[in-house]
Amino acid sequence: MVQRKQLIGVLDTSYVNSTSIFNTLDFLEYKYLRIKSYKDLTKINKLIIPGIGNFRKIIDNLIKEDLFRSLQEFILQKNFTLGICLGMQILCQHSEEGNCEGLNIIKAKVKEFELNKTHIGWNKLTDLNNFPLLKNIDVDEKFFYFVHRFYVEKNQTFSECQLCISDFNSNEFISCFQRENDFGVQFHPEKSQRQGIKLIKNFLDL
Separation between Cα atoms, residue 75 and residue 92, nearest integer Å: 12
Active site residue 190: yes
Alpha-carbon span 5 to 39, nearest angstrom: 20
Q: Which amino acid is at 19?
A: T
- Per-residue pLDDT for the chain (206 aa), expressed as one digit of tens each? 344 457 999 999 776 778 899 999 999 999 999 999 999 999 998 999 998 889 999 999 999 999 999 999 999 999 999 999 999 999 999 999 999 999 999 989 999 998 889 999 999 998 666 788 998 888 677 899 999 999 998 877 677 788 899 999 888 899 999 999 999 999 999 999 999 999 999 999 99
Residue 161 annotated among the catalytic residues of the structure: no
**Which residue in 92, 119, 164, 188 is the catalytic one?**
188
Task: Assess whether 164 carries a catalytic annotation.
Answer: no
Q: Which of 85, 92, 161, 176 is catalytic?
A: 85
**Structural domains for the chain:** 7-204 (3.40.50.880)
Q: Are 161 and 58 in contact (CB under 8 A)?
A: no
Which of 119, 148, 161, 190 is an active site residue?
190
How far, in Å, CA of 86 to CA of 93, rounded?
Answer: 13
- Using CA atoms, how far apart are residues 33 and 47, in angstroms rounded to an integer? 9
Total-model pTM: 0.93
